Amino acid sequence: MSKNKNDLQLIAETPFLRLVQRERWSFAQRPQEISVVAIVAVTHDNKLVLVEQYRPPTDSRVIELPAGLAGDISGKEDETLQTAAARELLEETGYTAENWKQLATVVSSAGLTDEKITVFLASTLTKAGEGGGDESEDITVHEIPLDQAEHWLAEQAKNHRDIDGRVFAALHWAKAV
């Protein structure tokens, strides 16, 4: 194992993930200095916009917030978090947003990775495209009335859909709009 910055030892590395160790704890990192953004998107008629896609680590379709990486596109490594959030919202859902508010930066899974996710609220949405992701993604877009979202999520769980935990936090933020 080789020494890395911040007293980390490199255990293994792929183009997309790095496994490192700090003292007796091993965890995953992204190899580049890339940030993650997630979007709580609320339509003018109070619907929460969620996405669903297959995720290999869980071998299941997962209900999630629209989200993605900032700084992962060649030539745009210095894009702002809000710019990345706007790009991901359009790409995944087909929506643009007039109003943006940074809500929080949260840890993804503190026992597994040092990754942090910056969450934005996007409102005053306009449908500007189809969504569905890029050529490597197969994303289904869901627009759920906020007053029915908890019931809808419970039904999805009964139907063996996994639900990302940030969706439940999004319900709190969306209802505060």
How far apart (Å, rounded) are the C-alpha atoms in residues 93 and 95? 5
Give the Cβ contact number of residue 165 at 10 Å. 11
* Paired residues of 113 in beta bridges: 28
Q: Are strands 60-64 and 47-55 parallel, antiparallel or unpaired?
A: antiparallel
| CA 116 – CA 86 distance, rounded (Å) | 18
Known catalytic residue: 13? no
Which position among 91, 115, 135, 150 bears the catalytic label?
135
Q: State both tokens at 45.
A: 């008629």
Structure tokens at 173: 């933020």
Determine how many CB atoms are found less than 10 A away from the CB of residue 33: 8
Handedness of CA 39, 40, 42, 48 (dihedral sign): positive
Positions marked active-site: 135
